């Protein structure tokens, strides 16, 4: 019986689809080839274009399609540098896949989204992955330190407390930021919410406005705002543009999202 088919964009730059097949388990296997004409030498950093063969076939997990698991299958290309001593070869670096990762960048982002209000075990069950696969995504996609040199302006700062266990003592404080581009990143994760820590951290940001908001002044200038005798709990947002200083004291910051 003839089956109707549709064509949807793969959403991956600089590739050509060679073949699409469905295996006996119903998984979609997409064989592709990179159309990039070179890569940067791993030693000198120059752009090299002299082809030097291909590596073995690599199969990585990609975004699900129509409820079925899908995989990308390709052979990484190698290029040779004519300027470095010994003419070393370099495997081509691709924007959509990190070397030795079992997932595409798009699928890693999909896993991070699935982790919203879910545990790693929950995502493993829903996606058919091992615990190490999901944990590996967190290791690859969440930096352990904030690269402040890549950040210029922040539109929104957020401060939230997340409970780890029942009770008031077991929680972490999450400091997030929304950039002008709309991207949301993690600036810090604290194991407590001491007043001095918040004051020191947020006082380093310069607020580009003529009249600071009451809530921002409460946090950065006069301490934690109180309501009915209690510390104002989360979420706390500052809807304005902040300019980062040249240096930021980390204060045990742990991670910043790449997404």
Distance CA 171, CA 164 (A): 5
* CA gyration radius, the chain: 24
Distance CA 129, CA 133 (A): 6
Distance CA 259, CA 253 (A): 18
What pLDDT does 186 receive? Answer: 82
Q: Give backbone dihedrals phi and psi of 33, rounded to 5 degrees, phi first.
A: -140, 135
pLDDT (tens, 9 = 90+) of the chain, 259 residues, equals 566 777 888 889 999 999 999 999 999 999 999 999 999 999 999 999 999 999 999 999 999 998 899 999 999 999 999 999 999 999 999 999 999 999 999 999 999 999 888 889 999 999 999 999 999 999 988 877 777 777 767 777 777 777 777 666 677 777 888 877 787 888 878 776 565 666 667 666 655 444 445 555 554 544 333 333 333 333 344 434 444 444 444 433 334 444 4
225 within a domain of the structure (yes/no): yes
What pLDDT does 204 receive? Answer: 64
What pLDDT does 163 receive? Answer: 73
Q: Which positions ≥6 away from 233 have C-beta within 8 Å?
A: 161
207 within a domain of the structure (yes/no): yes
60 and 119 assigned to the same domain? no
Domain end (from 34, 64, 97): 97
133 and 35 assigned to the same domain? no
Q: Between vectors from CA 180 to CA 177 and to CA 185, what angle results, nearest 5°?
A: 30
63 and 126 assigned to the same domain? no
2 within a domain of the structure (yes/no): no
> Which residues form the domain of 133?
101-141
What pLDDT does 173 receive? Answer: 79
54 within a domain of the structure (yes/no): yes
3 within a domain of the structure (yes/no): no
12 and 108 assigned to the same domain? no
Distance CA 8, CA 212 (A): 48
Distance CA 153, CA 208 (A): 10
Domain end (from 32, 65, 97): 97
Q: Which of these, 147, 150, 119, 152, lies nearest to 134 by C-alpha position?
A: 119
> HEC string of 28-61?
EEEEEEECCCCEECCCCCCEECEEEEECCCEEEE
Quote the number of domains for the chain: 3
175 and 252 assigned to the same domain? yes
Distance CA 179, CA 181 (A): 5
166 within a domain of the structure (yes/no): yes
Secondary structure of residue 148 in the 3-state scheme: helix
85 and 165 assigned to the same domain? no
153 and 135 assigned to the same domain? no
13 and 59 assigned to the same domain? yes
207 and 166 assigned to the same domain? yes
91 and 115 assigned to the same domain? no
Distance CA 66, CA 56 (A): 29
132 within a domain of the structure (yes/no): yes
CA of 253: how far to CAs of 30, 145, 186, 191, in Å? Answer: 40, 7, 9, 10
1 within a domain of the structure (yes/no): no
Q: In what order do the strands lie in the sheet with 171-179?
A: 184-190, 171-179, 153-163, 236-243, 206-207
61 and 73 assigned to the same domain? yes
What the block records as the tokens of 215 is: 């809530």
93 and 131 assigned to the same domain? no
């Amino acid at each position: 019986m003839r089956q109707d088919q549709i064509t949807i964009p793969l959403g991956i730059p600089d590739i050509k689809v060679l073949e699409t097949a469905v295996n006996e388990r119903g998984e979609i296997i997409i064989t592709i080839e990179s159309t990039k004409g070179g890569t940067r030498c791993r030693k000198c950093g120059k752009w090299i274009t002299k082809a030097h063969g291909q590596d073995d076939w690599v199969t990585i997990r990609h975004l699900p399609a129509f409820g079925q698991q899908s995989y990308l299958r390709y052979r990484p290309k190698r290029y040779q540098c004519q300027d470095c001593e010994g003419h070393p070869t370099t495997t081509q670096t691709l924007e959509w896949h990190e070397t030795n990762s079992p997932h595409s960048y798009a699928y890693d982002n999909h896993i991070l989204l699935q982790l919203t209000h879910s545990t790693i075990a929950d995502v493993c069950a829903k996606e058919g992955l091992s615990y190490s696969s999901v944990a590996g995504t967190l290791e690859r996609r969440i930096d352990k330190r904030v690269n402040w040199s890549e950040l210029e302006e922040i539109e929104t700062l957020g401060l939230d407390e997340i409970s780890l266990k029942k009770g008031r003592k077991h929680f972490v404080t999450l400091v997030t930021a929304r950039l002008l581009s709309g991207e949301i990143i993690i600036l810090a994760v604290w194991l407590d919410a001491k007043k001095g820590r918040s004051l020191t951290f947020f006082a380093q940001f310069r607020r580009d406005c003529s009249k600071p908001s009451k809530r921002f002044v409460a946090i950065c200038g006069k301490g934690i705002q109180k309501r009915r005798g209690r510390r104002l709990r989360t979420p706390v947002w500052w809807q304005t543009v902040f300019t980062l200083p040249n240096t930021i004291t980390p204060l045990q910051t742990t991670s910043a999202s790449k997404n």
